[in-house]
Amino acid sequence: MPSARFAIVILAAGKGTRLKSNRAKVLHCAGGRPLVEHVVLACQPLGATEIHVVVGHQADEVRAVVEPFGAKTILQQPQLGTGHALLTARAALEAAGVAEVLVLPGDSPLIRTETLAALLRAHRADGAAATVLTATLEAPQGYGRILRNPDGTVAAIVEEKALSAEQRTLREVNSSIYVFSLPQLWSALGQVRPENIHCEIYLTDAIELLHRSGHTVRAECAADAREILGCNTRAELAEVDRIFRQRKCADVMAAGVTIYLPETVLIDPDVQVGTDTVIEPGVQLLGATRVGTNCWIGTGSVLVDTVVEDEVLIQQNCRISGSRLGRGSRVGPFAHLRDGAELRPGARVGNYVEVKKSLLAEGVKAMHLTYLGDATIGPHTNIGAGTITCNYDGVRKHPTTIGERVFVGSGTELVAPVTVGDGAYIAAGSTITDPVPADALAIARARQVNKKGWAAARRARLSQPVGTEHRKTSVDKRKPPTQTAKRNHRERKRAPAARKAGSRHRKSPRG
């Protein structure tokens, strides 16, 4: 890395009119980070005396992005062009007593540290007043073009809108990344006038003024032209994002991970993936996600800030955020784990199961159509299909604690706060409101009533010709039971043996 005293200035005050956005351009994200954050990160390892970011539009939001990385900010108000932005930093640079300044735009996030280090080395080796990083683009539209002198030094930079017909064929463009020697820059910049279509003070005009006043301006052409791409439009933003994603997937694959159709996979820059993990098409691994070795992540799954230990199977279309999946656990398809869901080794969560802020111990199974919120579930407990922890009373959340080796029958509602002891058994369809002791059977549901012949009678009634179906069938004709009928019914239920005996007795004389 270069060792001379130098400062870095990142220009990030512009609005980004061409994005047609309410958000300042440098706050837009590509490759999982705000544009300006990428630029600061690329600059950090260079060892500059200080990094300044010129802010203007949404200054506070831009400060909040760059200050955590140690960058200082300078306010440009109003924003009168790239040259004016750099002039705003003059006092700070003079106070720091630096001999050189590396200038970058905040909207070109693909630039790499090595390219910047090479630019600084080239500048020092040549003793030039300014060195411009350039690139040769197939489609140079929108960029300032480099005009070279016969000896290869730079004579001027001409902005797109000021190009002559002949200059339009030039494909070497200005990256807006420069190294300037001080104080030569200040005298040139002081002479720039806002004589252009936008009435702005263009930093590019300082190049021609340096050349005219006898200074040498060098151009260094970037080996990888994509590094200098800017994000002035939504289309450019999408292209830059695509390149970041491609880079990250290439790095992950190089480290021993299989990615099918990598062009459909989004992996954020800080994500780590272990060897022999397989990533299917359309997966997104975002934020601070870490995935272990030998895992499988199915199509359409999105993981955000989640830790996945080794040997985990995540089937298709799961959304998992702020969670931890223990070794050998299995999830999905179509599962939703969030906000502190933790699966201990070997736990399994199946389709249409949502788990929030809950611990599922070793070997727990919740395989179908279930909501577990604010729950702690002991080892090897089985959660039946359609189980719901009713954790919210409309004001507060309450915990559900279930012991180990519990069997929770299908369709159970656990009205929290509630506890279920080890080894207990909950009958299907129960609504559990009270503690269930260990090893108990809890049944909390209405008894079943069977009305014999009811369905057949109804079918018969409905099959009557239209217009006659109002005629009552034997079932409809039944009158509401009188008190006597109810008493008889109760008695019949109480003593079926006696009734049977009576009927035998009646029949026998005839038999």
Host H or E run for residue 337: strand 336-338
In the complex, residue closest to ligand UD1 by CB: 144
- Residue 202 interacts, among Mg ion, ligand UD1, none and using kind-specific CB cut-offs from 5 to 8 Å, with ligand UD1
Binding residue (CB under 6 A) for ligand UD1 from 9, 40, 51, 85: 85
Q: Which of 232, 323, 391, 412 binds Mg ion (CB under 5 A)?
A: 232
Helix 483-494 to helix 496-507 angle (10° resolution) is: 90
- The answer to the question of residue 106 lying near ligand UD1 (CB under 6 A) is yes
Q: Is the distance from CB of 87 to CB of 201 less than 8 angstroms?
A: yes
Count of residues binding Mg ion (CB under 5 A)?
3
Interacting residues with ligand UD1 between 188 and 247 (CB under 6 A):
202-204, 230, 232
Contact between 76 and ligand UD1 by CB under 6 A: the answer reads yes
Burial 451-473 (b: 16+ CB within 10 A, else e): eeeeeebeeebeeeeeeeeeeee
CA distances to 16, 28, 322 from 237, rounded to whole Å, are: 12, 8, 28
Q: Is 208 in the site for Mg ion (CB under 5 A)?
A: no
Residue 303: which of ligand UD1, Mg ion, none does it interact with, CB under 5 to 8 A by kind?
none
56 vs 332, beta carbon nearer ligand UD1: 56
For residues 53 and 266, which CB has a smaller minimum distance to ligand UD1 in the complex?
53
Contact predicate 335/318, CB 8 Å: yes
Contacts with Mg ion in 75-134 (CB under 5 A)?
A: 107
Decide which of Mg ion, ligand UD1, none touches 80; Cβ closer than 5 to 8 Å per partner kind. ligand UD1
Per-residue binding letters, 359-388, with ligand UD1 (x by CB under 6 A): ------------------------------
Task: Decide if 368 is catalytic.
Answer: yes
**Quick one: which of 84, 215, 248, 336 contacts ligand UD1 (CB under 6 A)?**
84
The catalytic residue among 368, 380, 470, 489 is: 368
- Per rule CB under 5 A, is residue 230 in the interface with Mg ion? yes
Does position 108 bind ligand UD1 by CB under 6 A? Answer: yes
DSSP annotation string for 269-323: TT-EE-TT-EE-TT-EEETT-EE-SS-EE-TT-EEES-EE-TT-EE-SS-EEES-
Cis amide prior to 480 (ω within 30 degrees) = no
CB contact burial 401-440 (16+ within 10 A = b; e otherwise): bbbbbbbbbbbbbbbbebbbbebbbbbbbbebeeebeeee
What b-and-e string marks burial along 181-192, b requiring 16 or more CB atoms within 10 Å of the CB?
A: bbebbeebbeeb
62 binds ligand UD1 (CB under 6 A): no
Contact present, 361 and 337 (Cβ < 8 Å): no
Residues acting as catalytic residues: 368
Positions that interact with Mg ion (CB under 5 A)? 107, 230, 232
Positions that interact with ligand UD1 (CB under 6 A)? 11-14, 25-26, 54, 56, 76, 79-82, 84-85, 105-108, 143-144, 157, 159, 173-176, 202-204, 230, 232
